[in-house]
């Protein structure tokens, strides 16, 4: 009964693994990759008030104008990057829907899409659902998991329809500064390739200044679909709110699919989103706390001998298991059963990354400390 291309789609490696975790008591989860913070009160309060006032209807397909305007104003103020709130932005159900729409709006059967690996689990699956073919651009630990321009130059010769960039990157925490992005753009610009720039972690950049890909140049902006959302920086995963900014033609095509498949993002979430953009102090406080946790995890994992460079953004790190000669799934399963700590096997982010695990530090500081003790005990057993 099932369409062949869906049947052959591998299930999410993260989901599969976390089915094991469900129901196990006393597990410290460093796995799911979502903020442990509750959404800041001022945002929740606006959502509650909206409900009390009876705001329970559909909105326009593109989303509430006030929210579109608030987002575009935010970009002008922060990055001098301007989009028309009428025609160049679409409010979606999370960054996830924006990614799906972006791909479905531009991909025709067989079109190639460059996916930089290790990658967010959804990129290859959404590419295939849209009928595209994945061209993997592998990065390596030695290179800080950054794009090697020589490899990019080779892949771009294949005339890909799109490239998906993720800055800061899940699962590695790698970030790119403006000059690195410009070098990538200079290669991409030699073809007609569209850049899908997933910037859902832009506010969680701990060292440098976030640079939206579209802010590089007029030409880059024309060819970029900027994807962002409220889940990560504002701790609003359950609100399911995201957006895409791009030229009028692309946004109109994405809106077409969205209007038939989804109609609109939930109105209460959209109202909460307007308040979120004003909650910069709360975002900054969470950023400080993530930074504190990052310092702890990097110091402790290195002390335990799990080699790891300091990730620059997001809230994940991707340490290597190479010296233990164990697959990432075996490592993660044993760590779960023997020490009750859940991490994600690296293979979930690309077959080539079976000697890595992803550890998310969006977890309470005291729990992180306990997790590190348990990981240390487990590594000592492995080394025997
Ligand atoms: C890199 C990346 N992009 C997009 C998303 C989608 O997030 P959401 O749909 O909650 O906005 C995630 C969620 O984990 C992610 O890690």
Q: Which atom of ligand 1 is nearest to the CA of 34?
A: 14
Instruction: Give me ligand 1 centre to Cα 303, in Å.
Output: 31
CA atoms of 270 and 149, how far apart (whole Å): 39
Instruction: Give me ligand 1 centre to Cα 243, in Å.
Output: 11
Q: Which atom of ligand 1 is nearest to the CA of 240?
A: 10
* 34, 93, 94, best to mutate for ligand 1 pocket (most atoms within 8 Å of CB): 94
CATH number for the domain running over 41-279: 3.40.640.10
Q: Which atom of ligand 1 is nearest to the CA of 99?
A: 4
pLDDT for the residue numbered 12 = 74
CATH number for the domain running over 4-39+281-383: 3.90.1150.10
Arithmetic mean of pLDDT over the chain: 95
DSSP secondary structure letter of residue 92: E
Q: What would the pLDDT profile of 234-293 be if each residue is shown by its tens digit?
A: 999 999 999 999 999 999 999 999 999 999 999 999 999 999 999 999 999 999 999 999
Q: What would the pLDDT profile of 99-146 be if each residue is shown by its tens digit?
A: 999 999 999 999 999 999 999 999 999 999 999 999 999 999 999 999
Instruction: Give me ligand 1 centre to Cα 242, in Å.
Output: 9
Instruction: Give me ligand 1 centre to Cα 170, in Å.
Output: 9
Q: Which residues contact 8 (CB under 8 A, 6 or more apart)?
A: none
Structure-token pair, residue 312: 């620059």
Instruction: Give me ligand 1 centre to Cα 165, in Å.
Output: 13
Task: Spell 188-211 as b/e; 16+ CB within 10 A means b.
Answer: bbeeebbbbbbbbbbbbbbeeebb
Kindly report the pTM of this predicted structure: 0.96
Q: pLDDT-derived band of residue 180, with 50, 70 and 90 as boundaries? A: very high
pLDDT for the residue numbered 146 = 97
Domain boundaries, the chain: 4-39+281-383, 41-279
Question: Do the Cβ atoms of 355 and 322 come closer than 8 Å?
Answer: yes
Q: What would the pLDDT profile of 298-310 be if each residue is shown by its tens digit?
A: 999 999 988 888 9
Q: How far is CA 375 from CA 232, 334, 359, 370, 378, in A?
A: 26, 11, 11, 9, 5
Q: Which atom of ligand 1 is nearest to the CA of 166?
A: 1
Q: Which atom of ligand 1 is nearest to the CA of 230?
A: 11
Higher-confidence residue: 87 or 16? 87
Question: Do the Cβ atoms of 235 and 276 come closer than 8 Å?
Answer: no
* 95, 169, 344, best to mutate for ligand 1 pocket (most atoms within 8 Å of CB): 95
pLDDT for the residue numbered 13 = 67
Instruction: Give me ligand 1 centre to Cα 132, in Å.
Output: 20
Q: What would the pLDDT profile of 64-79 be if each residue is shown by its tens digit?
A: 999 999 999 999 999 9
Whether residue 358 has pLDDT greater than 70: yes
* 12, 18, 101, 122, best to mutate for ligand 1 pocket (most atoms within 8 Å of CB): 122
- What φ, ψ does residue 207 adopt, rounded to 5°? -110, -50
Pocket of ligand 1 (CB under 6 A): 33, 94-96, 120, 166, 170, 198, 200, 229, 231, 237, 242
Q: Whose CA is nearest to atom 14 of ligand 1?
A: 33
19 exposure class (CB count in 10 Å sphere: 0-12, 13-18, 19+): exposed
Helix (H) or strand (E) holding 45: helix 41-52
pLDDT for the residue numbered 22 = 79
Nearest to 274 by CA among 224, 239, 313: 239
Instruction: Give me ligand 1 centre to Cα 213, in Å.
Output: 17
Q: What would the pLDDT profile of 198-225 be if each residue is shown by its tens digit?
A: 999 999 999 988 999 999 999 999 999 9
Instruction: Give me ligand 1 centre to Cα 139, in Å.
Output: 20
Instruction: Give me ligand 1 centre to Cα 122, in Å.
Output: 9
Q: Which residues contact 44 (CB under 8 A, 6 or more apart)?
A: 38, 272
């Amino acid at each position: 009964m099932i369409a062949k291309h869906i049947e052959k789609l591998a299930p999410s490696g993260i989901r599969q693994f976390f089915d094991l975790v469900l129901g196990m008591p006393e597990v410290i989860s460093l796995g799911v990759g979502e903020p442990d913070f509750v959404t800041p009160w001022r945002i929740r309060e606006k959502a509650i008030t909206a409900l009390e006032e009876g705001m329970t209807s559909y909105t326009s397909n593109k989303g509430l104008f006030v929210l579109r305007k608030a987002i575009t104003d935010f970009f002008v103020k922060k990055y001098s990057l301007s989009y028309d709130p009428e025609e160049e932005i679409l409010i979606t159900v999370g960054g996830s829907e924006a990614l799906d729409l972006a791909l479905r709006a531009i991909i025709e059967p067989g079109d190639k899409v460059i996916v930089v690996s290790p990658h967010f689990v959804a990129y290859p699956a959404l590419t295939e659902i849209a009928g595209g073919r994945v061209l993997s651009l592998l990065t390596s630990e030695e290179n800080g998991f950054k794009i090697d321009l020589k490899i990019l130059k080779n892949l771009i010769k294949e005339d890909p329809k799109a490239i998906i960039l993720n800055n800061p990157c899940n699962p590695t925490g790698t970030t790119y500064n403006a000059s690195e992005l410009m070098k990538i753009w200079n290669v991409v610009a030699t073809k007609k390739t569209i850049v899908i720039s997933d910037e859902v972690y832009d506010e969680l950049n701990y060292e440098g200044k976030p640079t939206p890909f579209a802010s590089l140049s007029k030409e880059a902006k024309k060819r970029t679909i900027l994807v962002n959302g409220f889940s990560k920086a504002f701790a609003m995963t359950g609100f399911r709110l995201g957006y895409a900014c791009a030229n009028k033609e692309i946004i109109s095509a994405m809106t077409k699919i969205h209007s038939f498949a989804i109609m609109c993002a939930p109105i209460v979430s959209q109202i909460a989103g307007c308040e979120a953009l004003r909650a910069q102090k709360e975002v900054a406080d969470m950023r400080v706390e993530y930074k504190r946790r990052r310092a702890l995890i990097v110091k402790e994992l290195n002390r335990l001998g799990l080699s790891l460079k300091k990730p620059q953004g997001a809230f994940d790190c991707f340490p290597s298991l190479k010296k233990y000669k164990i697959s990432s799934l075996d490592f993660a399963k044993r760590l779960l059963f023997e020490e009750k700590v859940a991490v994600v096997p690296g293979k979930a982010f690309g077959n080539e990354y079976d000697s890595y695990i992803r550890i998310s530090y969006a977890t309470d500081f005291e729990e992180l400390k306990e997790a590190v003790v348990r990981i240390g005990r487990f590594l000592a057993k492995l080394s025997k």
